[in-house]
Amino acid sequence: MKKNHPQPPTMKIIDVTPEHEETYCQCLEEWSDEIREAGDYKRDWYARAKGGGLRVKLAIDENNVVGGMIQYLPIEQSPAQGTGLYFILCIWVHGHKQGRGNFQKKGMGTALLQAAEDDARRLGAGGMAAWGVVLPFWMRASWFRKHGYKKADRNGMMALMWKPFGADAKAPAWIRPRKKPQGAAGKVVVTGLLNGWCPAMNMVHERARRAAAELGPQVEFREVRTDERAVFLEWGISDALFIDGREMRNGPPPKYEKIKKKIARRVKKLR
């Protein structure tokens, strides 16, 4: 007897619409209490970036539920240097049981990537670039490699992957850090570099700001907005958290308590 194999669920890829902008700005995690800690930075960034070439596509399942997203922009507006390419800021398929549920392992990521590449080609781009983590975490470099990308550059755990669309395309390169924050006598200086495009990084920034305020006048919080291109090029860093000039790892986003504890240790050393 012949077995009946279920058909894969239908899916469509659409450009982001006003109806879905809030969902997009919360990275499909509007159900999460943590995402609310990220503030309005992503919304403000999006309002500016969509006029500068930002493209956003969403994956919608057969029930008209958004399960994935991809956002990309001209590489000249990205943390990498290059010409005539588009750069993927992130591609994300919702994988949590909470909220809208798990949409991974259903082909949404591949469909989103293909749609973005097709769009970039229509726009006349010479290729597509993306950042990828060399360890098996989110935005894995190995995943892009499976889709025809190759490594153009590397900075620590961050690989710069790219796919040329033609022989004339030139490989991109990372923009390296160029500046470190300065301290202040008699104070602990917490410096947050913030671009705004990533709610996870915005969350770290807001946690650090709150912790610094709660620890009193011996702590000074300095915000550097790298969404201004000239500021980013001055620093060569998009998003980062520094405590007295020492960078704190911000991925996965450290909890508020951990950030506050690190700052408090520096305060004790002032005494």
Query: Model confidence over 162-196: pLDDT tens digits?
Result: 999 999 999 999 999 999 999 999 999 999 999 99
How would residue 5 be classed by pLDDT, with cut points 50, 70 and 90?
A: very low
The fold for domain 188-268 equals: Glutaredoxin (3.40.30)
With pLDDT > 90 as the criterion, what percentage of the chain qualifies? Answer: 85
Confidence at residue 9, expressed as pLDDT on a 0 to 100 scale: 61
Give whole-number Cα distances, 141 to 79, 133, 173, 200, 251, in Å. 16, 5, 15, 19, 16
CATH class of 12-168: alpha beta
**Cα pseudo-dihedral 40, 42, 45, 51, rounded to 10:** -120
CATH 3.40.30.10, the chain: domain bounds = 188-268
Mean pLDDT to the nearest integer, 66-89:
97
Q: Could you tell me the CA-to-CA distances from 88 to 39, 75, 115, 210, 259 in Å, in that order?
A: 23, 9, 12, 31, 29
Question: Start-end ranges of CATH 3.40.630.30 in the chain?
Answer: 12-168
Helices (DSSP H) in the chain: which residue ranges? 21-25, 33-36, 41-49, 108-122, 141-146, 199-214, 229-235, 256-268
At 7, the pLDDT band (50, 70, 90 cuts) reads very low
